[in-house]
Amino acid sequence: MSEPNENEEDPSEPSDFQQSMAQVQRRAKQAADLAGLKEEIEEQDAHSAGEVSFMASPLVQVTLPHSDPGDVDIWDRQNGDILLYIRGGVKQSENGGGEPLGLPYGAYPRLILSWVCTQVTKHGRRRLDLGESLQSYMRDLGVTPSGGDQGTTRRFRDQMRRLFAAQIGFIWTREGHEKRQAALVAEEMDLWWDPKNPSQTTLWDSSVKLSKPFVEAIKKAPVPADRRVLREIKDSALAIDLYFWTTYRASYIEDSLTLSWQQVHDQMGANYSRVSGFAREARKHLEEISLIWSDLKYETPRGRLRLYPSRPSVVDK
């Protein structure tokens, strides 16, 4: 019997050519999907389609963590004269007593915050009904439920608990002046969902009662966006941040705005070991966003992002 040749390719494994072709096909499908969404948005704007979503403007200027900050008491991020900080909540440990719940991070808290800000902006209520099942709530936000330890259902519920238990604060400082604002996201949360059976309905709806200071912060100049775009980019915290930030800044700048990638990185909750890696990902997401939102005008000269006055993704009415 001949010995196996280690240099021979395993026929069960896809070849480099097959992998390259699969990647080309994925990109072609994505481009077609983005072109279709662009056409849909141009035919019917977000207001007419009932697809307007909002985000509190301070959370657009400085954003939540992209990845797990780990075991820290306070996480902060600076943008010019505004400092965002977050304190995590407490959960009941398996042995009794309290222990840190952890800080919210990633795409899910951003999607939940956008839903919360939209409900407050449109209806003005502090108590929000989350529905009778976790699965239906996730689908409403564009997230497909899946089970298991690594599934979306468990991770979504964990991030929701972290967000509603957190305290978010802002400090504005200028020469001779300091202003502070801090609030619990929610002063009351009532969850009846079973993460092991997310489609199960319950006798009582789950709900959250937002704190009054948090609601007041939301009501001050919320940033509008198109929920159809958010559903397309829902898997990336960076893409969501860039989308809200560009439509917010492009709506009021009178001339071009140029920032280094380091400046963009520092205000967006990212924690890349190399800014070049962040810039590469940001350019990719900006290209995707601009394929849908064709009015976005920007350039990426070496080491920088230059944003020009543009028609917002959603024109506020």
The per-residue pLDDT for 203 is: 44
Q: What distance in Å separates the CA atoms of residue 170 and residue 56, rounded to the nearest whole number? A: 12
Question: Contact 136/196 with Cβ under 8 angstroms?
Answer: no
CA distances from 2 to 5, 8, 38, 79, 297 (A): 9, 13, 58, 66, 63
Q: Which residue has the tokens 């969902």?
A: 193
Residues with Cβ within 8 Å of 26's Cβ and at least 6 positions away in sequence, in order, are none
The per-residue pLDDT for 198 is: 59
The per-residue pLDDT for 269 is: 84
- Judged by DSSP in three states, 306 sits in strand
The per-residue pLDDT for 19 is: 67
The b-or-e profile of 101-132 (16+ CB within 10 A means b, else e) is bbbbbbbbbbbbbbbbbbbbbeeeebebebbb
The two three-digit tokens of residue 256, written as one number: 């071009």
The two three-digit tokens of residue 128, written as one number: 């929000």
Kindly report the pTM of this predicted structure: 0.86
Q: Which residue has the tokens 């801090």?
A: 182
Query: Going edge to edge, which strands form the sheet with 177-184?
Result: 74-79, 82-87, 167-174, 177-184
Going residue by residue through the chain, which has 317 residues, state the pLDDT in tens, using 9 for 90 and above.
Answer: 455 554 555 566 677 766 666 666 666 676 677 778 889 999 999 999 999 999 999 999 999 999 999 989 899 998 888 999 999 999 988 888 899 999 999 999 999 999 999 999 999 999 999 887 888 889 989 999 888 888 898 899 999 999 999 999 999 998 889 999 899 999 999 987 765 665 666 545 789 999 999 999 999 889 999 999 999 999 999 999 999 999 999 888 999 999 999 999 999 988 898 999 999 999 999 999 999 999 999 999 999 999 999 999 998 77
Question: Contact 86/104 with Cβ under 8 angstroms?
Answer: yes
